[in-house]
Structure 1
Amino acid sequence: MPFLELTMRCTEATQPRYENALEDVGAVAVTLLDADADTSNEQAILEPGVGQTPLWDSLVLTALFPEDTDALALLAALEAFDPGLDWAQVTFRQVADEDWERAWLDQFQPMQFGERTFIVPWNHELPEPARAPEAAVVRLDPGLAFGSGTHPTTALCLRWLDALAGEGLLQGRRVLDFGCGSGILALAALKLGAGEAVGVDNDPQALVASHDNAERNEVGARFAVYLPEDEPAGTYPVVVANILASALEALAATLAERVAPGGRIALSGILQGQEGELLERYAAWFDHLRCEQDGDWMRIEGVRRA
């Protein structure tokens, strides 16, 4: 399936705002390139590495959208989302699916998060530490659904889940992954000892990717996926939501209702500087709120008040 590709130049300082705007209006993938490099030798950053941000002063930012996306309507939506950004230099073209897949496979490498959580692509051998009996290994093929572990927002959540498992707070528990993308967080929780997991996403493609990844990791019987309107009512002792700050703000009451009294929540997808309002918002329901930072991104965690 081809895609509509949006390309533009930006600076290191403005890149997080542009990327945030593009994801908010439905980009299924974002790629960064050094704008001043020899493009014949340049390697794309499909998602910044864990704990890393691009070192380039000037970047070429590329985003993929579904083929049937209206380019003019997309520009209007972007200008409405962040009028302070300059969208005048945007160009569009149609690209084939395999262009993205080849680049993604070249970039995605095995990664470790915390003490024993490993994300390993299907086309790689297990690294030696991931062969240990206590290792929690997720074999991943995220396709075009967000969540391969390489983005700091995902890495922050994986380290949080790993730490919960180390404290014995995941064993046998029920976990909600709200905005599940590829299913990576729910799958990691199951591999770390959770009893069952539920994934919720408003993108049907994400639900397909999550279901397929669960089956390949042999945890399909313990992982159910739903569109938001179809999710069964209930509460969970562990909830993780790796979405955008604007969505975390709008869904605060909904997410709070999902967390059982005394349960834990992690919120990610938050740019540095956005955490203050969210801390104030979630303080209505949660105690022991604290932040963890990775590059320009933040994670908020807390404990649901009885």
Structure 2
Amino acid sequence: MPWIALIFRTDADHAELLSDALMEQGAISVDIHDAAADSRDEQPLFGEPGNTSEEIWQNAEISALFDGKADADIARIVGNLVQLNCLSEPVSYRVEQVEEQDWVRLTQSQFTPIQISSRMWIVPTWHTPPDPTAINLLLDPGLAFGSGSHPTTQLCLCWLEQNLKTGETLIDYGCGSGILAIGALKLGACHVTGIDIDPQAITVSHDNAIRNQCNPSQFVFSISHSSREPVDIVIANILTNPLTVLAPLLISLVKRGGNIVLSGILCEQADQVIQAYQPWFDMKLARQQEDWVLLVGRKR
């Protein structure tokens, strides 16, 4: 059965009101997202440290899904929204047809094996490894960030593959799916700690580590860092703002002579992050992929 998506652009002041009204008008589901997602104007939200932005994107897009039979009622629905003061005239919206699909298969089709190097692959769990002899990171992202497709994840894995020494310890701060922590274990780390504020990420990371046959005695995933013992490597693939705010904490987690590895940083943001860490580390821009950079520093 086909569906209809009724899509509006609005601001933070009207987004929730419009969302609730669309549900009252018979929408099966309503999605609010950043209208500038995946662009330079993307607005980070969701309680990132130091973030002072609103809880709803200032430039929001709302997509309401209706039964295909509602096609003839779109004008009436929009008129009702105007009367409820959810929209101001003139009203701008668009309608898209959404065909019935196998959404699980469609989602899985977006993730294929990714070659990181000649000896490392990221392989979604529903695929067969292209090279069984390689270091294969078997991954099911679940509801956590970290499918391996983003340049920042690939930058981090490439650095780990070329620089991590057997027997080193590592903290993956903002571990998401656990991909970097698991990669470090497979590359010879003796112990890794994955930290994330999202409990779902902790569950996903643990499951992925077991799926990759990692030794349970060599990893811990937690929403907080309880050990005060500094490690050889702290790696954090998050965003510029939290990296800057978290600098005192991340600095304290690295032993003298150890490395800090930071990503989730756009090229034009590199200087801001370098300045936050430079007093304690000899920072440098180690790699760049597309508009993203990887910064690395050795603690003095």
TM over 0.5: yes
Report what 2:139 is aligned to: 140
Whole-Å separation in 1 of the counterparts to 2:265 and 2:103: 26
Structure 1 window deviating more from structure 2 (184-193 vs 279-288): it is: 279-288
Cα displacement string for residues 235-265 of structure 1 (whole angstroms, at most 9, x for unaligned residues): 1101110111100000001101111111111
Mapped pair 1:227 → 2:248: no
Alignment gaps of 5+ in structure 2: 1-27, 67-100
Q: 1:47-58 counterparts in 2 under 5 A? A: none
Distance 1:11 1:206 in 2: 21
Paired residue type of 1:140: L
Q: What 5-or-longer segments of structure 1 have no aligned partner?
A: 28-74, 80-84
Assess if the C-alpha contact under 8 Å between 1:211 and 1:220 holds in 2. Answer: no
Q: Which amino acid aligns with 1:91?
A: I
Per-residue displacement from partner, 1:193-221 (whole Å, max 9, x unpaired)? 11111100000000000000011111151
Q: Hey, what does 2:123 align to over in structure 1?
A: 120
| DSSP 3-state at the match of 1:284 | coil
TM superposition outliers: structure 1 runs of 4+ over 3 Å: 7-12, 92-95, 98-103
Q: Partner residue of 1:261?
A: 256
Distance 1:113 1:86, change over 3 A: same
- Tell whether 2:41 aligns with 1:17: yes
* Equivalences for residues 1-306 of structure 1 within 5 A: 5-7=31-33, 9-10=35-36, 15-18=39-42, 21-22=43-44, 24-25=45-46, 76-79=54-57, 86-87=59-60, 90-93=61-64, 101-127=104-130, 130-132=131-133, 135-164=134-163, 169-221=164-216, 222-228=218-224, 230-305=225-300
Identity %: 40
Q: Which amino acid aligns with 2:62?
A: T
Distance in 1 between residues matched to 2:208 and 2:37, nearest whole Å: 35
Per the TM alignment, residue 233 of structure 1 is displaced from its structure 2 partner at its CA by 1.7
Matching residue's letter, 2:110: Q
Please tell me the residue identity of whatever aligns with 2:172. Answer: D
CA displacement 1:35-94 (0-9 Å, x = unmatched): xxxxxxxxxxxxxxxxxxxxxxxxxxxxxxxxxxxxxxxx94245xxxxx633xx21447
Larger radius of gyration: 2
TM-score scaled by structure 1?
0.70
Compared CA separation, residues 273 and 215, structure 1 to 2 (3 A): same
Checking the alignment, whether the CA contact within 8 Å between 2:185 and 2:214 is kept in structure 1 is yes
TM-score norm. by structure 2 comes to 0.71
